[in-house]
A and B are shown apart, each in its own frame.
Chain A
Amino acid sequence: MTKHNGSKPEVQERIGVYVCHCGTNIAGTVDVVQVAEWAASRLKTRGVVIARDYKFMCSSLGQELIEKDIKELGLTRVVVAACSPHLHEKTFRTACARAGLNPFLCEMVSIREQVSWVHTDKEAATIKSQAAVSGGVERVIHHEALEPLTVPINPATLVVGGGIAGIQATLEIADAGHHVYMVEREPSIGGHMAQFDKTFPTLDCAACILTPKMVDVGGHPNVTLMTWSEVEKVEGYVGNFSVTVRKKARHVKTEDCTGCGICQEKCPKKVIDEIYEAGLGYRKAIYTPFPQAVPRFPVMDVDNCIYFEKGTCKACEKFCPTNAINFDQQDEIVTLEVGNIILATGYDIFDARRVSNYGYGRLANVFTSLEMERLTNAAGPTNGNIVLRDGKTVPEAVGIIHCVGSRDRNFNNHCSVICCMQSLKFAHMVHERTGAIVYNFYIDMRTPFKDYDEFYQRVMEEGTLFVRGKVAEVTDATRLPGEEGKLIIQVEDTLAGKQRRIPVDMVVLSVGLQPRQDSNETAKLFGISCSANGWFIEKHPKLDPVATMTEGIYIAGCAQGPKDIPASVSQGAAAAARVLGKIEQKEMALEPVRASVIEEKCSGCRICNDLCPFNAITFHEDRMVTEINAALCQGCGTCVAACPAGAIYGTGFNNEQVLAQIEGLLLLNVGDEPVPA
């Protein structure tokens, strides 16, 4: 029941209010001088002893202003009206701490993101800023001095995903002398890069630059490589994660296997290789995806193995010179203790079948870019010969279509970043190897990085024809002479300003990159967030691109968004640097904004028990009460909101603080008319 309020008790605190101009960012829309004056006069009875405005509060001079006032005026609370706390809360908390005030007695009021940037009416924006400051003042009165919790950091790191980003991160950390567990769900590390032939714009052979790194990972004394394995559970918190990994049964005893390959040779069962060969080639039922696979041990595909199907065969076992085959092997569950985790789980390619008007899956000689990678690869199913689906005909004309599934509101709005360059690479290779006429159909040509545009110019000079326009259709329905037996690309050439029908023998769809189809589950497993379309969300898009909102979990490579190899490598290295920084700290302070259960009030209704995204909640059956592990809790407030009995206390966001802030926002504290909605 609402207690009768009566008059507000006298405020004992001495509060300083600091209003930032942020250059013209705030001062352009908000009369900051007026806000400070208003706070000084109207909020005097609410404990405000000083209110100042300053050009840049975050500058060292601005901070010194606060520090000086804390010392000279004996401030017990500080309110900074400036940008979002995401940006400078730490700055001002540190300033308070320097002056001897507990940093958690500082409150930030966002009058930039929440006021000046979203309003144009200066008068209204000024009034709104005053209300926001008033709310901040009422709230800060109820702040408590908090002490951060320190936890030791386990120096071991888990890297999930063995593509180039994960490999880079692993090697950086392992070379620095710390242990790394690398978990990869496929039989070998290498990722998508291992499928490529050449890399743009320098045209180095992908395998030549990748496989040495793979070998390094495989043989590194500081790396425990776990392929054919998946993470099943993550518990704990930064510095002390406990990760459960399922090592799927390979049916090969890795301690005995020499990787000689005889089992693969003798296995009578051929299976279409949908993953590594993109469906263009075969593998056996016991296989390594490619000759340079790391580790060298094969895995048995039990869904296709004749022995598992019919109970006889065992050819691999008979021929294995070291008796390394074990049909009875079971999955193994391993628990890893690590301090930090890097997620480099990569991407899926867009399913070209979804653009039905391009005929992929229906018209034989329409290929995806990944198939094209395999066709051009010297170690691929055609030994690098670019031929049609029949396996022998060399095309005389090839059309490469950009932006398939990207920059298209029917599929994905995003630009997949790599497709222009990959299409140019294919144009070059087709030209070089077949002498065919090559058309590139593009919407916009995007070649922004080092040497990329030079490569574009080179491909143009080689004679590739560029048509600017989005392809409407790829069809085998011939209409005009010369079209028989060809695939016709119907396109509006927006530079020529006319519709064109271009007959070709082969069409390559430069398909976009998409988040892994299970990226949402992965994010949930590790307690991080995904954007609406499924890319992992970084802590800050510009200033903190490899960290996440969950401390101790970092992201690298295409799992965060489409990017090329250099960018993935940079992110892998960046994430590793962040982890090494954490390891070097040896212990770390956790933000003390935490939830805790008031035991006497908890009735054990168990509503909160399944809600914690960080697994910080345990239920004690014997006492019928719930407990929150302070080190695991990230202070998200989910349980605080859910507790019907109000038995969970959220530091920094308790009822008193929130309700006082609302009263302040509504100007009930100064007896003013509420701000109109």
Chain B
Amino acid sequence: MTAPNGKKPKFAMYWAASCGGCEIAVLNIHEKILDVDANFEVVFWPVAMDAKYKDVEAMEDGSILLTLFNGGIRNDENEHIARLLRRKSQILVAFGSCACEGCIPGLANFSPAGEIVHTAFNTVSTDNPHQIYPRTSFDVPEGEITIPKIYPTLRTLDQVVDVDYYMPGCPPESHQIAAVIDLVIQVLQGKAELPPKGATIGAGDSTVCDECTRKRNVKTIKSFHRIYDLDIDPELCLLEQGIPCNGPATRSGCNARCVSAGAQCIGCYGPAEGVVDYGARLIAAFASVIDSNDPEEIEAILDGIPDPAGQFYRFNLAGSLLKAAKPAWEKA
């Protein structure tokens, strides 16, 4: 890692297809943000400061030391900036669930892009008597104006460019962000070493269960419930109580916050190390502990999970083995 002589190393952060929560999480590190300012020159961070793409394009390749990239790649603008920042950055971090594995925007991969646009512009949410749809380019007297072109599917950052590190979470926990920033500063000061390329940073190596303090027994599930259906035992494993908790397959690092508060883990920290397809893993795990041998009863128990795709692939669809539903994929 090189910091050009005497000058502060450069830092960038970008949002592609995302909600902006990751930016808030960074700001949420409170006074630690001053360390960022003290140690880095922030050259590009659309949410926090004004900058133009052409300013980035003008930079020397590799001149940015650290880029935190959040959001998935949904359109050509996202892809352009991803490639641009890859070129300009020494370290590119897929920051947050969207960049790592697609997250909520990735759920749109269940539908072809045309359907998504139609839903957005011509259904319950929008009264559209003249059938007006956005066009990617439009001629006006001043010339042609364009908006980004939507892609058939949302891709994760590493499906488009080479990624150095992954930092999961929706959003990443602020204490984890602070720790990562601390680490980078220590590396800059020569006090620490960077983890190997491709590593997941700002998270644990095992699963949420490892951080969960609830009591666990051998699991058998007779029915699934929503948390408001039950008088939940505050001491006992949620899954054992029939709450479909994704903790067993989800990477640790959040301090099991949701489960400690009595809500099931929904899996925002993504798959644990070594898990190839998060949803498939969970489906196999849940199915394994259903306590019945009667196909009809099993069917009825499974009806307790009304939205399996949302349950098992809420964060991971774009990064899963299948990546998208066939109709969306075929257009890709």
Residues of A whose CB lies within 8 Å of any CB of B are: 1-4, 6, 598, 600-611, 619, 624, 638, 641-647, 655, 659
Contact = CB atoms under 8 A, between A and B. Distances in A.
A493 to B, nearest CB: 43
Nearest to A598: B274
B159 A4 contact: yes
A641 B288 contact: yes
B89 to A, nearest CB: 15
Contacts of A606: 216-219, 237
Contact of A3 (B198, B270, B287, B288): B198
A646 B206 CA distance: 10
Contacts of B218: 606, 609-610, 619
A608 B206 contact: no
A607 B159 contact: no
A467 B168 CA distance: 79
B272 interface: yes
B209 interface: yes
B100 interface: yes
B248 A645 contact: yes
Contacts of A619: 218
Contacts of B273: 601, 646
A1 B248 contact: no
A1 B272 contact: no
B276 A659 contact: yes
B59 interface: no
Contacts of A605: 207, 209, 216, 219, 237, 239, 247-248
Closest 9 A/B residue pairs (Cβ)? A644-B249, A603-B209, A642-B288, A644-B285, A644-B248, A603-B210, A605-B248, A646-B274, A4-B158
Given A644-B207, A645-B207, A607 B285 contact: yes
Contacts of B216: 604-606, 624
B111 interface: no
B332 interface: no
B3 interface: no
28 contacts: A1-B100, A1-B166, A1-B270, A1-B271, A1-B316, A2-B156, A2-B276, A3-B158, A4-B159, A4-B162, A601-B206, A602-B206, A603-B207, A605-B216, A605-B239, A606-B216, A606-B218, A610-B218, A610-B219, A624-B216, A641-B288, A644-B207, A644-B282, A645-B207, A645-B275, A645-B281, A646-B274, A647-B206
A624 B319 CA distance: 30
Interface string B242-257: 0000011100100000
Interface string B145-167: 00000000000101101110010
Contacts of B208: 603
A659 B277 CA distance: 11
Given A606-B218, A607-B288, A1 B207 contact: no
B276 A609 contact: no
A642 B206 contact: no
Contacts of A647: 206, 272, 274
A619 B215 CA distance: 14
A3 B164 CA distance: 10
Interface residues of B, number: 47
Given A1-B156, A600-B206, A645-B249, 16 more contacts: A1-B166, A1-B271, A2-B159, A3-B198, A598-B274, A603-B248, A605-B219, A605-B248, A609-B219, A610-B218, A624-B216, A644-B285, A645-B207, A646-B276, A646-B281, A659-B276
B255 to A, nearest CB: 14
B285 A603 contact: no
**Taking each of A6, A606, A607, A611, which has the highest tally of chain B beta carbons within 10 Å of its own beta carbon?**
A607
A645 B206 contact: yes
B24 interface: no
Nearest to B94: A1
A610 B288 CA distance: 9
Contacts of B319: 1-2
A646 B288 contact: no
Interface in B206-226: 206-210, 216-220
Given A605-B247, A607-B289, A641 B206 contact: no
Contacts of A6: 162
B276 A655 contact: yes
A641 B281 CA distance: 7
Given A641-B288, A642-B284, A644-B282, A655 B158 contact: no
B61 interface: no
B101 interface: yes
Contact of A601 (B166, B217, B237, B272): B272
Nearest to B102: A1
B76 interface: no
B37 interface: no
A601 B276 contact: no
B235 interface: no
Contacts of B100: 1
Contacts of B321: 2
Contact of B205 (A4, A601, A655): A601
A601 B320 CA distance: 21
Contacts of B281: 643-646
A655 B94 CA distance: 24
Contacts of B274: 598, 601, 645-647, 655
Nearest to A610: B218
A419 to B, nearest CB: 32
